[in-house]
Amino acid sequence: MRLIEPLLAAAVAAAPTWSHERLTSALDGRGASYDAIVAGLSGGLIGATFGDCASGFAPLAATAPPPVTELREELWAGPIATADHYTAVLNTQRCGGTRMDLAAVAADGRVLSRAPLPVRGYAQPVELAPGAVAWAEHLSDTRVRVRALVGGKAVTLASEPDAGDLDPGVDELTVTTAPDGRVLVAWSTQDHVRAAIVSRSGKPGLPVTVGRSLDMATPVAALGTGGRAVVAWSTRDGGEEQNERTRVYAAVRAGGRFRPAQLLDRARTLSAFADDPDGDARVALAPDGRALASWTALVRGERKAVRVAAARPGQRFGARRTLTADGTGADVAFTGDSRPLVTWAARGAVYLERNGRREKVAATDGPHAPRVSVLADGRVRVTWRTGFQPALHVATD
């Protein structure tokens, strides 16, 4: 039995209870690339890069946003929202310094505190999760180490071969934190996707190979209490000839081990050099162990279908469903009582599916990057962006 009712049976419901505000920043009219745009408990924050050794944080607000905090260093990861502030990684190594710092950032963009990360050599990629940071550390021309900082303790998870730019050893990396404090790190090499779990005290488990990579892979992960986990990834042929279709895989961990990876979808590859990633997988894990995965797949021209699949606790994913044949992204989550939530953006609107019903969250031009989360009081929050503006739309039920 599928966890979510088939799309044709889902009712399309108006959602008059959604409150919607557009958060803006003082970045309007300034040339910058936006490394991250995140919502906090109140307002939000943009991590921006203005040029070499020029970055900053721009608070988001519904009215009169505060000024931008500018820094003479590089924004290397984040920001992400935590309980009462934001966290980011700042790098001075290419700006006349030697440190890479883990920084706490206030809602107004000020750097509250910073501490050096125990990084040796050059570290990339670097990723953040609440209470944890993980990175790939390039110590020589032949090896790269996967490391994590958990509970104030730095641990080495694996060592991978490194062949430079053509095969960087670790292509992409993700880190996620469980409610019980455990941390899961997943990373991709040219041939495989691997993962390791670290206890809340910083004791690392053995790394395991969860599936294959076609050359380039982007893993995402969710970790639950007791070590239940799901890792999903989109992978594509990195060569110019594009001999392989983009594939989306997922692997579920239950009973202390990962089950064999499951192929969820195959789709055309847009381009090896496309800025917009093929697949764009997202995953979520419920308190009772159920899992959700969403992704995009090229179906015609540059049109993307948005698809979703669900899995019962410890089981394989069921048949995929197509939410729209012309979408721009999706995200998944669970409520505290394990009810599935799926949000997606299509032409002219953002939608949410819950309890077998489809709701139109908002009608808006050019929505993309939708995200869904559940607030501490149980309310559902959906965020999205429009165009390339330094702004964020936030809707709460």
Q: Which of 1-5, 179-183, 223-227, 290-294 has the lowest mean pLDDT?
A: 1-5
What is the residue extent of each domain of the chain? 7-396
pLDDT in tens, 143-176: 899 999 998 999 999 999 876 655 678 999 999 9
Q: How confident is the model at residue 347 (pLDDT cuts 50, 70, 90)?
A: confident
- Phi-psi domain of 187 (left: phi exceeds 0; alpha: psi -120 through 50; beta: other): beta
Tokens of 82: 């935590």
| pLDDT for residue 277 is more than 50 | no
Cα 333 to Cα 269, 348, 352: the distances in Å are 27, 23, 11
Helix (H, G, I), strand (E, B) or coil at 152: coil
Amino acid letter for position 342: V
Give the burial class of 112: count Cβ atoms within 10 A of its Cβ; 0-12 exposed, 13-18 middle, 19 or more buried: exposed
Tokens of 128: 């953040």
Question: Is residue 61 over pLDDT 60?
Answer: yes
If one compares 132 and 272, the residue with the highest pLDDT of the two is 132
| DSSP, residue by residue, 169-188 | S---EEEEE-TTS-EEEEEE
Q: How confident is the model at residue 301 (pLDDT cuts 50, 70, 90)?
A: confident
The per-residue pLDDT for range 304-327, each reduced to its tens digit, is 899 999 999 989 999 999 999 999
* Closest-CA residue to 35 (of 395, 394, 390, 393): 390
Residue 165 phi/psi, 5-degree rounding, is -60, -35
Which residues touch 277 (CB under 8 Å, ≥6 apart)? 218, 234
Predicted TM-score (pTM) of the model is 0.91
The CATH topology of domain 7-396 is Methylamine Dehydrogenase; Chain H (2.130.10)
- pLDDT tens across 7-43, in order? 333 444 444 489 999 999 999 767 788 889 999 988 9
**Average pLDDT taken over every residue of the chain:** 89
Q: Beta-carbon neighbour count of residue 191 at 10 Å?
A: 13
Please name the amino acid found at residue 43.
Answer: G
